[in-house]
C-alpha cells in the first residue's frame, strides 16, 4: 500500500458520488489502469481511480468508480477490489450507489440505508471453487448489512439534521432500466429501490468477514412511477447534488465505524 499506509476503512463510490473522495485528506490517487488485474470503469460518472488517504482521522481507501456486470466484466473481475481490501486487513466496507426509488417514501435525493438485498442478477460471485482463506463454502447472509453500523449512521445523521431512509435493495444486471411491469413485480417482492451494483460486492465482503454499511442515493423514480423517461444524465446530476450530504455523513461515520470494530470485532 502506498507509503506504508494501512487503511482501516474501504469505500466504493457509485454513479455521481465521487464528491465523497474530495473530502479525503492527503490523497494519493492511483488510476485503475496502473493496478495489476484491475479492469477499467467505462461508465460516465465513474472516474476510475483508487484514492488512499485520511478521512475523519482514519486511513481509508476509496474506489472512485466501480465495475459492473453490464460492462461485460465477470463477477470475479468486479469483486476483485473487495478481495484486495480484505487481504489488506480492512474490516469495514462502505458501499454507495445510485438507485431508482420504488417505495413511495423515497424521494429524489433521498439517502437510503440498505437493510437487506434481493439478488436478481442471475449470478453469484461465490460460484466456483471456494477459497477457504477468505471464508466458508456456504456463508450466512442473515445480516449482510450491519445493524450496528446503521445505528451509528442514524446517530451521525441526527447530528447533521439529515434524514435517512432505509429499505431493501434489488440488484439487477442491467444495462437497461427496468420495465414498469418488472418494477411492479419487484415491489411485490419487497424491494424499495433498485440498481445495477452493490450486491456482488456485499456478498464477497460478507464472505470475507467484513462488516458493511451500504447507502443508496435515490437518483430517479423507477419505471412507471413518474412521467417521462429515465436517463443517466439525471442520475449523475442528482447523485452529485446528494454527494455533498453523503460526504459529510461518511466523514462523521468513518472514525465511529473503526471505533466499533476496535471494541467489538466481527467474529
Are 5 and 88 in contact by the 8 Å Cβ rule? The answer is no
Inter-residue contact 85 to 93 (CB < 8 Å): yes
196 is catalytic: yes
- 261 pLDDT band, cuts 50/70/90, is confident
CATH architecture assigned to 2-230 = 3-Layer(aba) Sandwich (3.40)
Provide CB contacts within 8 A for 121, sequence distance 6+: 69, 171, 172, 173, 199, 200
Q: Is 1 a catalytic residue?
A: no
Active-site annotation holds for 105: no
Q: Is 241 a catalytic residue?
A: no
pLDDT for 181 equals 94
- Of 21, 63, 71, 205, which residue is the catalytic one? 71
167 bridge partner residues: 114
* C-alpha to C-alpha distance for 131 and 89, rounded to whole angstroms: 17
59-97 pLDDT, tens digit per residue, is 999 998 899 999 999 999 999 999 999 999 999 999 999
In the chain, what is the greatest distance between 2 CA atoms, to the nearest angstrom? 52
Catalytic residue among 23, 41, 68, 210: 68
At 43, the pLDDT band (50, 70, 90 cuts) reads low
Q: What pTM value is reported for the model? A: 0.91
Asked whether the predicted pLDDT for residue 226 surpasses 70, the reply is: no
Domain borders along the chain are: 2-230
73 counts as catalytic: no
Instruction: Please tell me the predicted confidence (pLDDT) of residue 267.
Output: 42
Mean pLDDT over the full length of the chain: 89
Amino acid at each position: 500500500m502506498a507509503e506504508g499506509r494501512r487503511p482501516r476503512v474501504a469505500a466504493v463510490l457509485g454513479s455521481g458520488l465521487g464528491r465523497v473522495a474530495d473530502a479525503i485528506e492527503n490523497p494519493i490517487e492511483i488510476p485503475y489502469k496502473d493496478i495489476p488485474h484491475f479492469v477499467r470503469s467505462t461508465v460516465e460518472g465513474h472516474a476510475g481511480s483508487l484514492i488512499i488517504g485520511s478521512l475523519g482521522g482514519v486511513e481509508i481507501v476509496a474506489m472512485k468508480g466501480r465495475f459492473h456486470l453490464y460492462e461485460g466484466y465477470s463477477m470475479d473481475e468486479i469483486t476483485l477490489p473487495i478481495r484486495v481490501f480484505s487481504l489488506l486487513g480492512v474490516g469495514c466496507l462502505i458501499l454507495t450507489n445510485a438507485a431508482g426509488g420504488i417505495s413511495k417514501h423515497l424521494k429524489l435525493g433521498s439517502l437510503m440505508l440498505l437493510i437487506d438485498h434481493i439478488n436478481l442478477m442471475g449470478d453469484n460471485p461465490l460460484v466456483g471453487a471456494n477459497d477457504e482463506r477468505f471464508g466458508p463454502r456456504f456463508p450466512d447472509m442473515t445480516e449482510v448489512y450491519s445493524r450496528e453500523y446503521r445505528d451509528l449512521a442514524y446517530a451521525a445523521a441526527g447530528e447533521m439534521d439529515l434524514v435517512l431512509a432505509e429499505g431493501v435493495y434489488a440488484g439487477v444486471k442491467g444495462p437497461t432500466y427496468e420495465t414498469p411491469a418488472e418494477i411492479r413485480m419487484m415491489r411485490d417482492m419487497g424491494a424499495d429501490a433498485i440498481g445495477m451494483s452493490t450486491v456482488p460486492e456485499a456478498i464477497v465482503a460478507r464472505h470475507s468477514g467484513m462488516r458493511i454499511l451500504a447507502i443508496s442515493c435515490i437518483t430517479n423514480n423507477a419505471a412507471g412511477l413518474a412521467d417521462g423517461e429515465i436517463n443517466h444524465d439525471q442520475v449523475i446530476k442528482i447523485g452529485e447534488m446528494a454527494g455533498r450530504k453523503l460526504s459529510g455523513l461518511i466523514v462523521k461515520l468513518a472514525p465511529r465505524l473503526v471505533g466499533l470494530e476496535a471494541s467489538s470485532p466481527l467474529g
